Structure 1
Amino acid sequence: MTQVFTSISDFLAAPFDTLIDVRAPAEFAEDHVPGAINLPVLDDDERARVGTIYVQQSPFLARKVGGALVARNAAAHIEGPLADFEGNWKPLVYCWRGGQRSNSFATILRQIGWRVEVVEGGYKSWRRLVVKSLYDDPLPHKFVLIDGYTGTAKTDLIARVKAQGGQVIDLEGLANHRGSVFGNMGQQPAQKAFESALAVELSKLDPSKPTLVEAESSRIGQLYVPASIWAVMCAAPRIEVTASLSSRAIYLAQAYADIVQDAQLLEDLLTKLIPLQGYERVEAWKDLARAGNFVDLAGGLMAQHYDPRYKRSRAKHAPVVSATIDLCSMDEAARDQAAEQVIKVMNAL
């Protein structure tokens, strides 16, 4: 049997024990339904080989070769990761478009006695739902943006608001990037995978309640914020967080400990600022880094680079600020209290 889904929520709530993506590892790595496991019936090389046979020789021969490969790989999965499943196990399987790969695998599993079903349209049906929610349909959610200079603990406050029961979307967390030249947190997901994760997060939210989102540009690292989300962000009211430069510098030196502890990485990142700030100024920042004076380095970067850019952006776009919260202190207690204030303002807007 095949399963048809008309929304992301329905897809994710389907009553199946395991969601199996049988596409090749490279396809799975680019994007997959969140929560799926990858049990490829053809690996990347095998898929390329079968495709070449299909084009250059004949579809029949491609199916013959592909069928043998699928059977061998299915046997390996049954004897390996599926070995401990009992007879009442109910998996849901999908491939690229709900065709031969998923149906071949499902047929073998059914013969064993497992209650397997296939996603009609495969991954492409999932992708259509994602595109519909992020690009085609207007977003029903009400966003409130948290804004402020670099170092005002906006990302930290988003996490605290969530911990206190507020609705949030952490764009930087989903993008695996902190949104600046120093923002690298490791490899970013592919654009499609970012969008899948974002669509899932949105599907969990109550549109009747406000959702806190950090004020970002339309690009986070190498990834782009989808159109419907960006449109709501541009029209959203803002809560501005303020703090002194000295407090922000101390906070940033701690928040970016992963970078300041890697001397070569920090030097390389500072070098990227030479076209914007000039050799002399960047060398002065590098001297602070070499001396381990990370608080003064953070202060200099904000005063001479980030704060002026923020001011220019604000002057250009003139966003409306609905409320301002001052972090007189940036310790744990102050940030918890600020998160409480943010929730109160969100609910009042």
Structure 2
Amino acid sequence: MKYPEVAGFDALLPRLGEFDAIIDVRSEAEFALDHIPGAINCPVLNNDERILVGTLYKQTSAFDAKKAGAPIIARNIAHHIDTLFHDKPRDWRPLVYCWRGGNRSGAMALIMARIGWPVAQLEGGYKNYRAWVSAALAEPPAVDFRVVCGPTGSGKSRLLETLDGIGAQVLDLEQLAAHRGSVLGHLPNEPQPSQKMFETMVLAKLRSFDLARPVFVEAESKKVGNLRVPDAVMVRMRAAPCIDLQLARPARVRLLMEDYQHFCADPSVLADQLTHLTLVHGRAKIADWQAMAQGGALPALVDELLVQHYDPAYLRSIDRNFVQYPQAQVVELADIGTSDFLAAARHLHDSPA
């Protein structure tokens, strides 16, 4: 075969495992927004250099942009080869891609091919890959979902984590989205990924599952924080069999106090977040809750939030959105200890609903 090989993502997909490296030559910012799973970032134009060349392209001409960019690209490719790939054997097989046009990846692939490596270049670049992701999520793999339902604080996330730990198949959307799903669910110092990266991770998980085995997933709304669950995935979740996880309210309060310790450390953050509920409960009620937060009455505040906000919202939505919930398999947790979740997880793993 003549190298560099140039092919679209559909053609390369069955062979992705054959490549020794997937190299994304786009800038750091482009890579951070989304990339092919497992890819490494080797920019041939970094963030600042890409802005420089792009400005020349728009304001002067394509020729001047390419003339300015060529020596920068050449230096960066030389640096990557010298520092990252100089020890690779002759049969080392990389796949290289950029954004769309192929200029950046083409330069890297051409030099690698001239060295003698059997390099492939993704035709259409990341844009081609992204189109494949969108099409695949429109008709996602037919996984056998088991939807873990339960009001706020019932331990759904802990149960999923425990199930994952004993070898069950788990799609943890909140973990992928870096958000706990409620108005108070933002994780401190952990920004959410981009929508595109979230969809990439969801699809990668779905494609990794054995379709003959169930996949446990939490009952989510259409959005997890700022991120939207792909529509077709949500449709399949809402039609799936359900598990009703039950835990006494005092234990739920203790669980939430453990899971939201950052609010205990700085109650002012919780007080600020409560303003998002003003339209639902009014300024007077929010002021009362904020005073409880600032005054350190957090267990009592959590209990009130469950009774007056979260539990009613849960009851309004669960029957409407998850059609098999009336026939849900009931799983009762005695408490919130590790052994309690392990017993529930083993029961579900050995005899899923």
Same fold (TM over 0.5): yes
1:184 aligns with 2:157: no
Aligned partner (choices 275, 290, 296) of residue 271 of structure 1: 275
Aligned mate of 1:343, from 343, 346, 349: 349
Q: Relative to 1, partners in 2 of residues 1:345 and 1:149: Cα closer, same or farther, differing over 3 Å?
A: farther
**8 Å CA contact 2:150, 2:244 repeated in 1:** yes
Task: Quickly say closer, same or farther: Cα 1:7–1:295, change in 2 above 3 A.
Answer: farther
Within the candidate set 340, 347, 352, 1:334 is matched to: 340
Structure 1 segment 12-31 matched on structure 2, within 5 A: 12-13=16-17, 15-31=18-34
Alignment of 1:152-167 (within 5 A): 152-167=154-169
For 2:146, the equivalent position in structure 1 comes to: 144
Separation (CA, whole Å) in 1 of partners of 2:340 and 2:297: 25
Offset, 1:7 = 7.7
1:311 is matched with which residue? 315
Provide the C-alpha distance between the structure 1 equivalents of 2:14 and 2:291, rounded to a whole number of angstroms: 56
- Selected match of 1:245 from 249, 252, 273: 249
Q: Which moved more, 1:45-54 or 1:149-158?
A: 45-54
User: TM-score, normalising length from structure 1?
Assistant: 0.90
Shift in Å, 1:259:
3.0
Q: How many residues align?
A: 344
- Specify the SS of the correspondent of 2:243: strand
Summarize deviations over 1:172-199 as a string: whole Å, max 9, x none: 0111111011111221111111001111
Q: 2:204 aligns with which of 196, 200, 212?
A: 200
Superposition TM-score, scaled by structure 2 size: 0.89
Per the alignment, residue 222 of structure 1 pairs with 226
Q: Which residue, 129, 141, 152 being the options, matches 1:126?
A: 129
* 1:254-294 CA distance string (max 9 Å, x none): 11113322333222112322332223333333333334333
Question: Where does 1:70-149 land on structure 2 (aligned, <5 Å)?
Answer: 70-80=73-83, 82=84, 85-88=87-90, 89-97=92-100, 99-135=102-138, 137=139, 139-149=141-151
Of 30, 38, 46, 1:35 maps to 38
Q: Tell me the distance in 1 between the aligned counterparts of 2:227 and 2:16.
A: 24
Matched-pair contact (CA < 8 Å) for 1:219–1:225:
yes
Name 1:281's counterpart in structure 2: 285
Look up the SS of the partner of 1:75 in the other structure. Answer: helix
Among 316, 320, 334, the residue aligned to 2:324: 320
CA RMSD between the two structures: 2.2
Identical aligned residues as a percent: 40
Shift of 1:37: 1.5
- Contact 2:53–2:65 (Cα < 8 Å) also in 1: yes
Matches within 5 A, 1:39-54: 39-54=42-57
CA contact (8 A) 2:141 2:206 kept: no
Unaligned segments of structure 2, at least 5 residues? none
Q: CA deviation at 1:245?
A: 0.9
Gaps of 5+ in 1: none
